[in-house]
Amino acid sequence: MRMYDLIIKKRNGGELTTEEINYFVENYTKGNIPDYQVSSLLMAIYFQKMNARETADLTMAMVNSGDILDLSKIKGIKVDKHSTGGVGDTTSLVLTPMVAALGIPVAKMSGRGLGHTGGTIDKLESFKGFSVEMTEDEFINNVNTKKIAIMGQTADLAPADKKLYALRDVTGTVDNISLISSSIMSKKIAAGADCIVLDVKVGDGAFMKTFEDAKTLGTAMVNIGKSVNRNTVAVISDMDQPLGFAVGNALEVKEAMDTLTGKGPKDLLELCLTLGSNMVVLAKKAKTVEEAKEMLLGTIKDGSAIKKFREFVEAQGGDPTFVDDREKLPKAKYVVPVKSDRSGYVSKINAQNIGLVAMELGAGRATKESIIDLAVGIVLNKKRGEKVEKGDVIAYIHANDESKVEKASKGILENYEIKAEYKDEIPLIYDVVR
Ligand code: URA
Ligand code: CA
First to last CA, the chain: 38
Spatial neighbors of 135 by CB under 8 A, at least 6 apart, are none
Give the ligand with the smallest distance to the CA of 116: 2
**365 counts as catalytic:** no
**407 counts as catalytic:** no
Residue 113: band (very low, low, confident or very high) from pLDDT cuts 50, 70, 90: low
CA distance 177 to 13: 16
Q: Are 109 and 157 in contact (CB under 8 A)?
A: yes
pLDDT in tens, 136-150: 899 999 999 999 999
Closest C-alpha residue for ligand 1 atom 5: 180
Residue 425: band (very low, low, confident or very high) from pLDDT cuts 50, 70, 90: confident
**Phi, then psi, of 388 in degrees rounded to 5:** -130, 145
pLDDT in tens, 232-265: 999 999 998 999 999 999 999 999 999 999 999 9
DSSP, collapsed to helix, strand or coil, labels residue 356 as helix
Q: Which of 92, 181, 182, 183 is catalytic?
A: 183
Spatial neighbors of 249 by CB under 8 A, at least 6 apart, are 117, 118, 122, 123, 125, 126, 330, 363, 372, 374, 375, 377
CA of 243 relative to ligand 2 center, distance in Å:
5
Looking at the predicted structure, is the pLDDT value of residue 431 above 80?
A: yes
**161 counts as catalytic:** yes
How buried is residue 68: exposed, middle or buried, by Cβ count under 10 Å (0-12/13-18/19+)?
middle
CA distance 118 to 93: 13
Q: Are 122 and 317 in contact (CB under 8 A)?
A: no
Looking at the predicted structure, is the pLDDT value of residue 424 above 80?
A: no
Closest C-alpha residue for ligand 1 atom 8: 180
Question: What pLDDT is recorded for position 184?
Answer: 94
Closest C-alpha residue for ligand 1 atom 7: 180
Residue 154: band (very low, low, confident or very high) from pLDDT cuts 50, 70, 90: confident
Give the ligand with the smallest distance to the CA of 177: 1
pTM over 0.85: yes
- Tell me if 165 CB under 6 Å of ligand 1: yes
Spatial neighbors of 110 by CB under 8 A, at least 6 apart, are 119, 120, 121, 132, 150, 151, 152, 153
- Tell me if 126 CB under 6 Å of ligand 1: no
- Tell me if 180 CB under 6 Å of ligand 1: yes
Mean pLDDT, range 226-233, rounded to an integer: 94
CA of 188 relative to ligand 1 center, distance in Å:
12
pLDDT in tens, 271-315: 999 999 999 999 999 999 999 999 999 999 999 999 999 999 999
CA of 175 relative to ligand 1 center, distance in Å:
9
Mean pLDDT of the chain: 94
Give the ligand with the smallest distance to the CA of 158: 1
Nearest-atom number in ligand 1 for the CA of 168 is: 6
- Tell me if 184 CB under 6 Å of ligand 1: yes
Q: Which of 57, 89, 161, 373 is catalytic?
A: 161
Q: Which of 10, 168, 215, 293 is catalytic?
A: 168
Which of 22-26, 114-118, 207-211 is predicted least confidently?
114-118
pLDDT in tens, 325-380: 999 999 999 999 999 999 999 999 999 999 999 999 999 987 878 889 999 999 99
